[in-house]
Amino acid sequence: MILNREFYQRDAVAVAKDLLGKVLVHETNEGITKGLIVETEAYMGTKDAAAHSYKSNPSGRTNVQYKEGGYAYIYLIYGMYYCMNIVTNEINIPEVVLLRALEPVDGIELMKKRRGTDKMINLCSGPGKLCAAMGINKDNYGMDLCSNQLYLEEAAVKNPIEVVASKRINIDYAGEAKDYLWRFTIKDNKFVSVKVK
DNA sequence: CGGAAGATTTCT
DNA sequence: GAAATCTTCCGA
């Protein structure tokens, strides 16, 4: 079952927690890939010094963040890797959830081909890696997650999930915001990206 | 218009 | 521990 618009129209922290255990699906010409979300981070727009939308105009790269929840915010980092975010909350509230790690579910051969590795644990354990494995790039920027190409769905089997909150990764420049516990992971899941502080 | 820096990954 | 590599943003 595909998650509906209402799911995304809440604050980013609530959505980030609820996204754990959901499945990200991307249908392409090459085939379909699915991954179980095991790690997320919330970025709370104007209240968060680490967010892209904290100090920039509601135009350019962050434009889509100001839409209502349920859209894909894709950006290129360090000139080499894409990161996928999910826009949350209402119109004109620039809050997003960064997807940091997935557990591969479907289309694993395709993921291996895209990533150039056979190691399951290495396919999606990081923001740049999961985008490469899922075939996500700037063409997906602003895509509606309530449509049928790139979307999220409930996991086929719902196992009980234990959520762990921790500090976010690689945002030391963000002042006091770097200590906010807005990173969420599934406890003891081995597909979570390895960097832990 | 030019420069600096970044939600990262990979190899040494 | 450092390089790879390019878009975006800010200051002049």
Report if residue A197 sits inside a domain.
Answer: no
Residue that the structure tokens 């604050």 belong to: A11
Residue A85: φ, ψ to 5° = -125, 160
A141 CA → B7 C1’, Å: 16
Q: Residue A122 CB closer than 7 angstroms to strand B?
A: yes
Let me know if residue A40 belongs to a domain: yes
Q: Which nucleotides of B are covered by protein (CB under 7 A)?
A: 5-10
Band (pLDDT 50/70/90 cuts) for residue A56 is: confident
Q: What secondary structure does DSSP assign to A54-78, as a single string?
A: SSS-SSGGGGGGGS-SSBEEEEEET
| pLDDT above 60 for A196 | no
Q: How many domains does chain A have?
A: 1
- For residue A158, tell me if it sits in a domain: yes
Tokens 């990533």 sit at which residue? A115
Residue pLDDT, tens place only, A58-95: 777 899 999 999 999 999 999 999 999 999 999 999 99
Q: What is the CATH number of the domain that holds A112?
A: 3.10.300.10
- Residue A197 reports pLDDT greater than 50: no
Domain, as residue range, for A149: 5-186
